[in-house]
Structure formats: C-alpha cells, structure tokens
Structure 1
Amino acid sequence: MLVLGGTGEARDLARRLVTAGADVTSSLAGRVSRPALPVGDVRIGGFGGAAGLAEFLREFAPTIVVDATHPFAATISANAAAACAATSVPLLVVCRPGWTARAGDDWTRVSDIAAAAEHVRTSPAGTVFLTTGRRDLAVFADDDRHDYLVRIVDPPDVPLPPRTTLLLDRGPYDLDRERALLQAHDVRLLVTKDSGGPLTVAKLDAARELGVPVLVVDRPPLPDGVTAVDTVDAVLSRLPGSAAG
C-alpha cells in the first residue's frame, strides 16, 4: 500500500498497518524540515505531478493508495486522484472533520487565503495572529496597517508584512500556552485554516475565552469522484484483505 502522509492520521494508519504485518510505504512531500516520520518504509519528495505519480504507481503496483495528506494539500490530492484514475489503482481519502463554531465563538469564514488577506486589510488596527502556514504568507506582505504575529514550523522563504514578529514552533499546543500567547501580544484577530483535529484547536479555545475574533479559511473541495472517510478506523475497515487485522 502507498500512504500519502504527513499528518497524524497518516502516522497512525502506517503504525497500525505495519503492526498487522501489511506492506506499507509512506510518502512525505518533504516541505517541512525534521518531519515526524511514520513507521515502515518512507519516501520523501514529490513525484513530479500527476504524470510522475502515475508512473510510480505503475512501477510500485500498490493494491491501494490512501491519501492521508493535510486537508489543504489540494494539489497533492488532485494529483493522486488523476494518477489513480489513469492507472486504475483504487484511491481512498481520509479527511478529518473540520472545526465547528461553538457558543461564544466570533468566527468569520472566507473561501480562500486571498479572501482572508483582503478581510484582514479592512479590519481594525491591531495585532493579527497568522497560523496559516509559511506558503501563504506572501498575500499579507503588502499590509503595513497591522502588526503580525506569525507562527510557522520552518523559517519563511517568502516576503512578510513589514511589522512581523516571527515565532518558529510546532504543535501540539495547550490552552494555557495559547491563552498566554494571545494575551502577551494583545492579539485582536486570529487567522487560521479549517484544518480540524485536536493538535492545534487550543488556539480557538483561547480565542473564545478572550473574545478574540477568528477568521477561518474554508477547505478546498476534494477532487470529484473520490471516496472519502473521516477516521483511520474507517480507512482500515475498507482496505482489501482486512490488512489491518
């Protein structure tokens, strides 16, 4: 099996499959330095688009491909769908549920990162806490009205807003730390992608407690025609030959 990974779900899936004796290779895009590696065989790096992935599938001949990438890894998911369709290899997508606003939340949803940047430009002055990842920072770079607190895993390689405080850190994060961070920087707006999952949800809990508005970027749609489930258990139940035992 080929697992397109990089998420906690992908690591959990690989661990359970390897424990059950399945032959699993996990593929990571290699965009993050020092990634948390899954058990089993691992390859790091891109395939060269849908055509390159299709060529790999013809050589590797997996029984199934499981796309367990990040909910915002739209290009990888599209390439996987196209490559699997071209090679007749079954594809299963595991996509964790998104976050849902709770009582006391002040959320605004936008369709994409460009819409988020436009919303921020017209928002009241104050510190904006950006947690959208380093690849999307450039769209905020021309905003000189706001102070930015930018939290990312690796140093950025794109332009930043002129008034930026950079915080290099990786989750999981707990509520006490997130609350203290928002208070220390007097954050007036939190910007996040709807990644879902428990590892980074504490920032939303802290924002709710402190009355900080949240700008939530909606997920890109999954490719047409793919079969998607929302848990690792659901993936395992669908694998051919009861690979998970």
Structure 2
Amino acid sequence: VDDIVDVMQSNELCDRYGLDSITCGNVVSAYLASEGEFGNTELIFEMVEKIAHREGVGDLLAEGIDRFHQELGVENWTVKGLDFAAHDGRTLNGQGLSYATATRGADHMFTTMYAWEYPLVDGEEAYDPTGLEGKPEMVIEQENARALEDCGIICRFSRSFMTPERLEGLFSTDYETLLAVGSKVVDLERHFNNHRGVDREDDALPYSLPNFEAALDEYYERRGWTDEGTVPSGHVDTAVSAD
C-alpha cells in the first residue's frame, strides 16, 4: 500500500475498534499474502472490519498469526507469539537481537534499540545497524533502562529528556544502582517465563542474522544465565514466587 491516506484510514479503523494496529497489520498482511491479494486496499478495510466483528475468516484471523499460520500456509512471523513492528531486525540487527531476547516476544519497546541504529540519537551515540558485534551489552543496558522506566511509569518517548542525571535526581540514587534494579526486573521476568517453559529455543527469529547464536551466547553470559537461557537457581530473589 503506497497511499498514505489508505494507511491512515486503516489505522483509524483499528483505533475505532480498539485493535492494535501493529498486530492487525501483520495479520491482514499474512492473509492477503495467502490469497495473492497483497496491496488490495479495499480488502484491507474489509478484513479489519471482519476481524473486529469476528465475522467469517475474521474469526480465525482474530486469533493471531501464531495460531492460524499453519491453516493459511503462511510463515509464523512472530517471536514468542508476538508480531513485529516496522523496525525491521533484518536491517537493524541490534533491534533483531532485542526482539529475540525480549520477555514479551517481538516487542520493539523492550529496548528501543532501533533509536540507536536508525539513528534517532546523536551521531556519537549511534550504532552501525549491521552486525551484532558489541551489541549484546548494549541490548542488556537498554533492557535494564526500559525496565527501570516501567518501574517509574516513565513514557518511552521521554528518552531524550530523561537522561541518567535526571533519573538519578528523580530516584535519589546513582544510575548504576538504577540499572541494577532494571536488571533484577528482567531476571525476574525471565525466571517467571522459565517456569512456564520458555528457554533458548524461544529466543528465535523467523529470519537469519549474522553471528546470531554467538551474540545470544554473549547475552546469556553477561546476564549470568545458562547457555539454554534459563536463570540459575539463586540468581534471583526466590522469595518472589514464579508459581
């Protein structure tokens, strides 16, 4: 779809029905691809309506790609069942690694690594979007920072304003201590997921990235997790039950 007005109308429909535009867009795209109708604008509008009301094929599509991909013969273009945003990990490789490790699956807000790879930050802070060398450490730092922001109920789009210095002032402690809090949150989330069967096998992408497995190994090592992506006993506060 190359008409921005059509895109805006599709988004408006999603807003009107309370549908997530990212997931709905992925679902409709998968359906159109299966029907050989990719780019059919009128069919896009129709499918959004059908999904919202669970009418006809919309009842199946409303279940999401993770559940219907085999029935329609399309790829399961998700991580841990969650659809991708437009920040493409095949181009922004650090964002791709982040999609794989994120607690909720292909969640672009878990690190917002894309901001450093487009870049949306000052040039000296930017990362080359290609390759994964040096990026596991950055992914971890940004995961910890985003977890901290969630603890403080801080908007993601305040990143240019909420500097480490301002966060230190807000929480009355040093930034390294704050990142350690974020790290504990990520560990607890992973510990919870481990108890529900999530491990390295689930930290996978539907496409290839250069040296992905080595980067995942480094990520686990830096986190203090096992090679299989599980949090070792005693690594988290076991007083917080995962059951």
Q: Give the TM-score normalised by structure 2.
A: 0.27
Which is strand-richer, 1 or 2? 1
Q: Which of 1 and 2 has higher RCO (CA within 8 Å, sep 6+)?
A: 1
Which is helix-richer, 1 or 2? 2
Q: Give the TM-score normalised by structure 1.
A: 0.27
